[in-house]
Amino acid sequence: MAALLLRHVGRHCLRTHFSPQLCIRNAVPLGTTAKEEMERFWNKNIGSNRPVSPHITIYSWHQNPIKD
């Protein structure tokens, strides 16, 4: 869908005699940015108040002796 829209806008810009800045200025962002998606992800996970994942807590961490 986005590719079709971009192709249509590109053809429209080529057909008209307007400057390229005018076509770019009228372009609309198609989706959210990665930063917005990341913020939404962390806000959702922090708001759910879930405990720490069990796979982290089931292992016992051993200290290996240092060999010279």
Q: Which tens digits make up the pLDDT trace of 9-65?
A: 676 665 555 555 555 666 666 777 899 999 998 899 888 887 767 776 677 777 777
What six digits make up the tokens of 24? 């770019």
Residue 52 structure tokens: 């720490």
Domain spans in the chain, listed from the N-terminal domain onward: 2-49
pTM: 0.33
pLDDT of residue 15: 57
User: Which positions ≥6 away from 20 have C-beta within 8 Å?
Assistant: 13
Give the pLDDT confidence score for residue 19 in this predicted structure.
55
What is residue 43's predicted lDDT score, i.e. its pLDDT? Answer: 92
How far apart are the C-alpha atoms of 1 and 61, rounded to whole Å?
50
What local confidence, expressed as pLDDT, does residue 38 receive?
Answer: 92
How far, in Å, CA of 4 to CA of 11, rounded?
A: 11
